[in-house]
C-alpha cells in the first residue's frame, strides 16, 4: 500500500470530531468524553480513510466496483449480480475476495494499533472500519438514515449519542430506523454537533426534515 503518509483527514473533519467531545450542551464539562475515547475514535476515523484508499487503489477494478455497490449503495449480492450481468455466486465471491485483501493489507497496522496478535480479532476491526466507510459514503436519501450515517462516520456509539442528545437509547434507535422523527431540539443538536444544515420542507401539509452531507 503506497503513500499512506498522505493527509487523510481534513482540518474541518478533525474539528467536527473534536466537537463530538462536546455533545449535548456543547460547552458543558460533564458532557465531554474522555481524551482517551476521543483519541481512539479519531484513530478509527483516520484508519477508515486508509481502508477507502485500499478500496480505490489496491483492489482490482471489478472488486472495487462490486464492494462499493455493496457498501455504499446497500445492494446485496443478488442485486449486484443482476446489475452487472453476473451470477449471485460470482458477486458474492468478489465481495469475499475484496474483504480478504483489505484484511490482509490492514492486519499489520491493526495489530500494532491495538496491540493484539489474535487473528480472529482483525476481521472484526476491519468490519467496523468498513461500516464507517459505508456510513461516510452511503447514498441513502433518507433523513433518518443520514443521521445514523453521521454518527457512525464519526465512530460515536449509540449510548454516547443518546446520552448527550439527552434522549433515551430507545428513542435514538427509533429515530435512526425511521420509526420516529427527532424533535426540533434534537434536530438542532445534530446540526450544531456535525456542522450541517437541516431544513424542513412541507409535503402534503406535513413537515419533513432534510439535510445534506457535510
What's the pLDDT tens digit per position in 38-65?
A: 888 889 999 999 999 999 999 999 999 9
What's the pLDDT tens digit per position in 138-194?
A: 887 788 888 899 899 989 889 888 887 889 999 999 999 989 888 888 888 888 778
Q: Is-contact 132 153, C-beta < 8 A?
A: yes
SS (H, E, C) 4-63: CCCCCCCHHHHHHHHHCCECCCCCCHHHECCHHHHHHHHHHHHHHHHHHHHHHHCCCHHH
Give the helix/strand (H/E) hosting 200: strand 198-203
**Is 115 or 83 the better-scoring residue by pLDDT?**
83
Compute the radius of gyration of the chain from its Cα atoms: 19
What residues contact residue 37 under an 8 Å CB cut-off, 6+ apart? none
Instruction: Please compute the mean of the pLDDT values over residues 66-70 and round it to a whole number.
Output: 97
What's the pLDDT tens digit per position in 172-187?
A: 999 999 898 888 888 8
Instruction: Collapse the DSSP code of 70 into the 3-class scheme (helix H, G, I; strand E, B; otherwise coil) and give the result.
Output: helix
Domains in the chain (CATH in brackets) are 9-139 (1.10.10), 140-213 (1.10.260.40)
Report the Cα 151 to chain-centroid distance in Å. 7
pLDDT of res. 166: 85
The model's confidence at residue 30, banded by pLDDT at 50, 70 and 90, is very low
What distances in angstroms separate CA 101 from CA 6, 55, 56, 105, one per listed residue?
21, 9, 12, 6
Can you tell me the distance from the alpha carbon of 30 to that of 95, in angstroms, rounded to the nearest whole number? 43
Amino acid at each position: 500500500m503506497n503513500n499512506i503518509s498522505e493527509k487523510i483527514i481534513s482540518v474541518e473533519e478533525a474539528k467536527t470530531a473534536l466537537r463530538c467531545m462536546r455533545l449535548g450542551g456543547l460547552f458543558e464539562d460533564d458532557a465531554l468524553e474522555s481524551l482517551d475515547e476521543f483519541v481512539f475514535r479519531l484513530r478509527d476515523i483516520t484508519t477508515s480513510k486508509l481502508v477507502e484508499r485500499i478500496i480505490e487503489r489496491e483492489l482490482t477494478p471489478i472488486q472495487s466496483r462490486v464492494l462499493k455497490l455493496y457498501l455504499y449503495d446497500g445492494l446485496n449480492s443478488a442485486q449486484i449480480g443482476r446489475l452487472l450481468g453476473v451470477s449471485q455466486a460470482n458477486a458474492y465471491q468478489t465481495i469475499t475476495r475484496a474483504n480478504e485483501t483489505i484484511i490482509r493489507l490492514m492486519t499489520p497496522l491493526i495489530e500494532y494499533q491495538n496491540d493484539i496478535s489474535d487473528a480472529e480479532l482483525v476481521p472484526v476491526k476491519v468490519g467496523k472500519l468498513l461500516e464507517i466507510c459505508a456510513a461516510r459514503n452511503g447514498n441513502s436519501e433518507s433523513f433518518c438514515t443520514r443521521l445514523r450515517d453521521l454518527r457512525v462516520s464519526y465512530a460515536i456509539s449509540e449510548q454516547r449519542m443518546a446520552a448527550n442528545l439527552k434522549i433515551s437509547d430507545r428513542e435514538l434507535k427509533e429515530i435512526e430506523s425511521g420509526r420516529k422523527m427527532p424533535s426540533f431540539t434534537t434536530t438542532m443538536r445534530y446540526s450544531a454537533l456535525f456542522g450541517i444544515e437541516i431544513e424542513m420542507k412541507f409535503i402534503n401539509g406535513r413537515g419533513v426534515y432534510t439535510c445534506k452531507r457535510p
